[in-house]
Structure formats: structure tokens, C-alpha cells
């Protein structure tokens, strides 16, 4: 091993998860190698509208975490990547009457700063609605692919599909590459190591970029997202296409449906499709992100068969193997904060928040799903 180059960390996958942890570790003087099978942001990250906004709701743990991440992301992007973050402000609108009633109960939990926008105010900004909404001025939009590429400037990136991972003599062997640590940031594709207990699954979505003369100063979220106009272009995106199991080409019919639904919110009469993007976003079983060590499932099941009956023996992890996944529909919101947390875990052994540690899902999976 003495003549072989051993990286501090190999990161597998160059979406927003892989790019943000590579950037963060590199800032901390770590020697990193990023291995990506297609191209930077070729997965869900490249398809994303990459809207960055707070979450509304009644103070759930996911909302609290999302809003903490949003505050961090806002500072991070405006400080380090201002050219790739457009602060458009984001309007949130109810989907229907029942949702509008719920908005009243959300107000007390809203991320600050925010403003109440009346229906008239929202309409004056170019959106059709029968409801009042919220306005979050710090919200905005990332240039999805460009910001991933920018984070990877100065990092070693190789186009390579990783087929095998083995740990030998205290070093990870990643096909022909070597590292002390490995971070799995492979989105919805997770064939390299048994991580079934995390319940990672993909949700398909589309984004259309349209040429239009429509001038929108703000972005808007409802059941879909509409971006503020930029250089005569507006992007519309949504990830709700359940049942698409594996990546396929962008479905024109679904894009038409997306445009049709957007037409209820804005004037789409002159919209011409410039480019379509589609992809899978990966989420965990409980919608919380997955950041931390990876449990050696085979060892645990062989050593402790009583796991299936509800026992909770001590966990055994793969040495220096980490996962960064489950960012759901908010990869660009979570990425900066969680990359910082993961880097502290890797470098300083600072325990990650138990809400995002994948450990939370293991015992239950053994009992319920591993039959
Ligand atoms: C249509 C759409 C709209 C979205 N809108 C938003 C939004 O507005 N705001 C927001 O914050 N988020 C949004 N998201 C969600 C966001 O895109 C995801 O949270 C994000 O993509 C997660 O990033 P990731 O790096 O975990 O996964 P990915 O971006 O999927 O990256 C995984 C990478 O790993 C690579 N890979 C996999 N296996 C291997 C292997 N064996 N070897 C090498 N490389 C490998 C893949 O090629 C891929 O590039 C949207 C998603 C979609 C699909």
C-alpha cells in the first residue's frame, strides 16, 4: 500500500449530496476523490428545480430541521456561491380551501422573516389564486448543475461507476482506488452495500424550462414549483410521479400535465418548452435525511437472530463507511448543513443528530420488514 495513493475520503456520487460533502471536506484540507458514473449532477440533482425555501407546518421535527437547514443554506449560498443562488423570495400558497384553513395554524411556526400576502398582493405579482399566502423573502433558487460543479472545483473527480467496495488492512478498496473513508452519496441507487433498513426509495419528477415573456419576480410553491423569470425563462418542476420505478426518459405527457397545472397559477399561453429534465429524488422511510455510519447488516443478523424478535443488541458498523442520502425534495436546502455535520462526524467524531442518523431505522426494520 506504500506506493499507492490513499485518499482521505472517496465520495461515490456527484449530486448535491456528494458535491457538498466533497466541498466541505476539501475546505478542511482533506484529500478527496469523487467517483461519478455519469456526470456531475446527472441524477436527481440535475433535474431539480433547486428551489430553496423554508418548510411550513405545525412544528414537526422535519419542519424544524428543514428550517434550521434553510437558515444555514441561505447564509452558505449567499456567502460562498452567490453567483449560483438567486434570491427571488418564495410565495407559499394553499392548494385548496381545507389547506387554506390549515395555513392559519401554520403561521405561528413559520420561519422568520416572512410576511402574510393577501390574495390581491399575490395576484398583483402575476399569480392566479383564490387564497392568501405566505412570503419568505430569503427563499430562492440555485442553478442546480452549475452549483454542484462549482462545489467540485479543485476536487479530484473521475467518471467511474463503482462496482465493488471492500475493506482490507484498514483501507477501503473502491475498484482500483483507495481511501481511509468512503461516503456513499448515490441517491436512489444503492447496490454497493446492504442499506435496506434505511428504506431508500426514489420518487420520479420532471422539470420544464420554458421560454416566455411573462415577468415573475418571485418564485412560488404550491403542489408544484414555479421559478421567478430569468432571461426570458421560467422553470416549473414537481416530483409526484409515484410508480416510476427506474429512470426512464422524460415523459412528454407528464410535462404537459405539469404545464397544464401551472396554467391554473400563471399565464402560460406563450410558454415554449426549451428543455426538459427528469430524475429520481431519493427519500428515506420516514422522510428524514440519512447521515452517518452504515450498520453491518449481515453481521448483525447472523450474530443476533433475536433482532427479529425485538432485541436491541449493540450495533456494529462498517469501519469508516458513511452515507449521505435521503434528502427528499429538499436536497439543496439540506446539503450545506448536513455536509458540515457529516464532516464533523468523519473528522472529529462529533455525533450526528439522532434524527438524521440511519441507526433510528435499524431495529424496527429487523422486527417489521426483515421477515
Ligand atoms: C424533478 C425534481 C425537482 C426537484 N426540485 C427540488 C427543489 O426545488 N429543491 C430541492 O432542494 N430539491 C429538489 N429536488 C430534490 C433533489 O434533487 C434531491 O434531494 C437531490 O437530487 C438529492 O441529491 P443526491 O446527491 O442525494 O442524489 P442524486 O442527485 O441522485 O446523485 C446521486 C449520484 O450518484 C451517482 N451514482 C449512483 N451510483 C453510482 C455508482 N455506483 N458509482 C458512481 N456514481 C454513482 C449517480 O449517477 C448520481 O449522479 C428535486 C428532484 C427532482 C427529481
DSSP letters along 80-127, please?
H-GGGEE---EEE--SSHHHHHHHHHHGGG--SS-EEE-HHHHHHTT-
Find out whether the beta carbon of 186 lies less than 6 Å from any atom of ligand 1: yes
Q: Cβ neighbours of residue 21 under 8 Å, at least 6 residues apart?
A: 11, 183, 185, 324, 339, 342, 343
> For residue 289, what is its C-alpha cell?
435525511
Can you give the pLDDT at residue 369? Answer: 74
The ligand 1 atom nearest the CA atom of 205: 1
Cα–Cα distance, 255 to 271 (Å, whole number):
12
Can you give the pLDDT at residue 252? Answer: 81
Can you give the pLDDT at residue 247? Answer: 66
Contact 214, 270 (CB under 8 A): yes
Tell me the per-residue pLDDT of 182-213, one tens digit each, with 9 for 90 and over.
Answer: 999 999 999 999 999 999 999 999 999 999 99
Cα–Cα distance, 119 to 265 (Å, whole number):
12
Query: Best substitution site from 23, 44, 250 to test ligand 1's pocket, by max atoms within 8 Å of Cβ?
Result: 44
Give residue 42's pLDDT band: very low, low, confident or very high (50, 70, 90). Answer: very high
Q: What is the average per-residue pLDDT within 40-48? A: 95
The ligand 1 atom nearest the CA atom of 17: 25
Cα–Cα distance, 351 to 368 (Å, whole number):
27
Q: What is the average per-residue pLDDT within 205-233? A: 96
The ligand 1 atom nearest the CA atom of 191: 41
Which is more confidently placed, 104 or 249?
104
Q: What is the average per-residue pLDDT within 130-137? A: 98
In the beta sheet, which residues pair with residue 152? none
Give residue 4's pLDDT band: very low, low, confident or very high (50, 70, 90). Answer: confident
Nearest alpha carbon, ligand 1 atom 4: 48
Tell me the per-residue pLDDT of 169-178, one tens digit each, with 9 for 90 and over.
Answer: 999 999 999 9
Query: Best substitution site from 36, 48, 205 to test ligand 1's pocket, by max atoms within 8 Å of Cβ?
Result: 48
Give residue 66's pLDDT band: very low, low, confident or very high (50, 70, 90). Answer: very high
Contact 313, 296 (CB under 8 A): no
| Secondary structure in 3-state letters for 273-301 | EEEEEEEEEEECCCCCCEEEEEECHHHHH
Can you give the pLDDT at residue 190? Answer: 95
Cα–Cα distance, 186 to 68 (Å, whole number):
24
* Strand duo 32-36 + 156-159: pairing: parallel
162-171 long-range contacts (CB < 8 A, ≥24 apart) are: 162/12, 162/35, 162/37, 162/192, 164/192, 165/192, 165/193, 165/321, 167/318, 167/319, 167/320, 167/321, 169/1, 170/319, 171/1, 171/6
Of 130-134, 188-192, 211-215, 236-240, give the lowest mean pLDDT range: 236-240
Let me know how long the chain is: 371
DSSP 223: S
Question: Is residue 1 over pLDDT 80?
Answer: no
Question: Is residue 2 over pLDDT 70?
Answer: no
Find out whether the beta carbon of 48 lies less than 6 Å from any atom of ligand 1: yes
Contact 188, 200 (CB under 8 A): yes
Give residue 305's pLDDT band: very low, low, confident or very high (50, 70, 90). Answer: very high
The ligand 1 atom nearest the CA atom of 279: 53
Cα–Cα distance, 10 to 290 (Å, whole number):
18
Share of the chain above pLDDT 70, in %: 97
Cα–Cα distance, 250 to 252 (Å, whole number):
6
Cα–Cα distance, 335 to 80 (Å, whole number):
14
Can you give the pLDDT at residue 249? Answer: 77
Query: Best substitution site from 15, 67, 209 to test ligand 1's pocket, by max atoms within 8 Å of Cβ?
Result: 15
Give residue 239's pLDDT band: very low, low, confident or very high (50, 70, 90). Answer: confident
DSSP 369: I
pTM for this one? 0.97
Amino acid at each position: 500500500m506504500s506506493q499507492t495513493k490513499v485518499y482521505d475520503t472517496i465520495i461515490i456520487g456527484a449530486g448535491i449530496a456528494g458535491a457538498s460533502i466533497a466541498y466541505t471536506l476539501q475546505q478542511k484540507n482533506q484529500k478527496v476523490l469523487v467517483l461519478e458514473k455519469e456526470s456531475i449532477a446527472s441524477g436527481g440533482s440535475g433535474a431539480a428545480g433547486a428551489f430553496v425555501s423554508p418548510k411550513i407546518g405545525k412544528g414537526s421535527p422535519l419542519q424544524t430541521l428543514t428550517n434550521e437547514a434553510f437558515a444555514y443554506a441561505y447564509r452558505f449560498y449567499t456567502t460562498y456561491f452567490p453567483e449560483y443562488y438567486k434570491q427571488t423570495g418564495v410565495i407559499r400558497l394553499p392548494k385548496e380551501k381545507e389547506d387554506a384553513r390549515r395555513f392559519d395554524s401554520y403561521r405561528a411556526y413559520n420561519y422568520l422573516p416572512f410576511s402574510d400576502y393577501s390574495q390581491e398582493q399575490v395576484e398583483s405579482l402575476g399569480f392566479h389564486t383564490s387564497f392568501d399566502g405566505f412570503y419568505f423573502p430569503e427563499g430562492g433558487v440555485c442553478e442546480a448543475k452549475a452549483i454542484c460543479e462549482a462545489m467540485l472545483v479543485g476536487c479530484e473527480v473521475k467518471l467511474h461507476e463503482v462496482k465493488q467496495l471492500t475493506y482490507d488492512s484498514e483501507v477501503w478498496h473502491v475498484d482500483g482506488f483507495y481511501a481511509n473513508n468512503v461516503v456513499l452519496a448515490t441517491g436512489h441507487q444503492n447496490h454497493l452495500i446492504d442499506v435496506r433498513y434505511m428504506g431508500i426509495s426514489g420518487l420520479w419528477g420532471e422539470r420544464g424550462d420554458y421560454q416566455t415573456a411573462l415577468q415573475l419576480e418571485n418564485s412560488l410553491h404550491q403542489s408544484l414549483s414555479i421559478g421567478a423569470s430569468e432571461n426570458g425563462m421560467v422553470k416549473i418542476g414537481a416530483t409526484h410521479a409515484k410508480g416510476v420505478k427506474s429512470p426512464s426518459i422524460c415523459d412528454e405527457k407528464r410535462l404537459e400535465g405539469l404545464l397544464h397545472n401551472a396554467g391554473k397559477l400563471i399565464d402560460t399561453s406563450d410558454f415554449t418548452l426549451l428543455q426538459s429534465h427528469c430524475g429520481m429524488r431519493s427519500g428515506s422511510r420516514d422522510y428524514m435525511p440519512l447521515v452517518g455510519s452504515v450498520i453491518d447488516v449481515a453481521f448483525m443478523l447472523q450474530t443476533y437472530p433475536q433482532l427479529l424478535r425485538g432485541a436491541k443488541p449493540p450495533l456494529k458498523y462498517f469501519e469508516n463507511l458513511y452515507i449521505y442520502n435521503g434528502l427528499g425534495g429538499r436536497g439543496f436546502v439540506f446539503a450545506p448543513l448536513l455536509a458540515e455535520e457529516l464532516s464533523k462526524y468523519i473528522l472529529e467524531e462529533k455525533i450526528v443528530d439522532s434524527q438524521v442518523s440511519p441507526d433510528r431505522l435499524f431495529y424496527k426494520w429487523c422486527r417489521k420488514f426483515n421477515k
